[in-house]
Amino acid sequence: MASRPLVVHVVGARPNYMKVAPVYAELERRGNVEQRLIHTGQHYDSIMKDVFFAELPLPRPHVELDAQTTEDALTELERVFGELQPDLVVVAGDVNSTLAGAVAASKRAITICHIESGLRSGDWSMPEERNRVITDHLSTLLLTHSDDADKNLVAEALTDRISFVGNTMIDTLRANEDAALALEAWREFGLEAGGYVLVTLHRPNLVDDAGLLAQTIAALDDVAESLPVIFPVHPRTRRNLDGSTRLLLTEPLPYRQFLSLEAQAAAVVTDSGGIQEETTVLRIPCFTLRQNTERPITIELGTNRLLGLEPERLRELPTLLANPKHGQIPPLWDGRAGERAAEAIECLVFGATA
């Protein structure tokens, strides 16, 4: 009896887990392929890594690397791919581990599938923009989650590689939503449901700029005079914080605990891409501190508003919340994207190995 094709998934940072988990789980349920999970080590502290394997339908990684740089990840992944000889490598999103997985697979002439393809900010100063564009052009199967992503790929002459499957990260949200809401995480922080602002900030152009970060904290301090502000602090951001604040600062939170806070917030302030999507589905007002977004659908259809890198605009939050965007959920953000992604992957793998 012939062995089943081997599909290898590469993860390394928090967003990867939520995007890969539904696809891995559905392929496992179908039972037509072997699977291996490789963790690069990009996020290596337990809160940012280990807890997700307890909360999501993912096994412990079959291979755990300790690659803290893209170069290290590329070298190690190329070695591991040489040992495993996979038929397909699946990467997700736009972090450094995504790029390393795609390049290493390409060097080994292994077919690549990219989850969440086609996102474009048009901002080449963002490492994520370079990562996602290069990964798309190296990949054979481009799994997209929105019409604008498809249009971006068509404009880059990648039309025949596209499979519009929807947003796999929303599968993870829907699968965990009831458990997250039952936690009522706001209680343990002394908050009231619907009566606080949740903040996440981690991008270098904001948190590595001491002046800009200080202005942002000062503006949020003003908001906190009338509406409590809770801020789970990314390790990168924590290193750059200085001085006292009215904000409730916490360590990074496990997925369900964070989702519980997100789902019951009056509003979310963020520079994260994925949180723009989650708040759209949860119908929570989102205010994004960035000049641009690769997820324009969250503005066009969803609850997101782009504030630019203008922290003083945060002081407008009480006024903006008086007239919130209610939005609608984009097509195929329905909790079943993992099923469609698994179908597309099997069509590729068995077409290629037939």
Query: Which are the catalytic amino acids?
Result: 202
Distance of CA 94 to CAs 74, 102, 121, 267, 281, Å?
15, 11, 12, 26, 21
Query: What is the distance between the alpha carbons of residues 290 and 167, in angstroms, rounded to a whole number?
Result: 22
The position carrying tokens 């009566």 is: 195
- The per-residue DSSP string of 123-155 comes to -TTSHHHHHHHHHHHH-SEEEE-SHHHHHHHHH
- Nearest CA-CA partner of 124 in 114, 112, 134, 113: 134
Hey, which residues does 111 pair with through a beta bridge?
A: 88
How many residues can be counted in the chain? Answer: 354
Could you give the angle at which helices 70-84 and 96-107 cross, rounded to 10 degrees?
40
Token couple for 324: 């919130």
Distance of CA 29 to CAs 5, 33, 276, 353, Å?
15, 10, 30, 20
Query: What is the distance between the alpha carbons of residues 117 and 161, in angstroms, rounded to a whole number?
Result: 10
Q: Which amino acid is at 241?
A: L
Q: Which residues contact 78 (CB under 8 A, 6 or more apart)?
A: 104, 107, 108
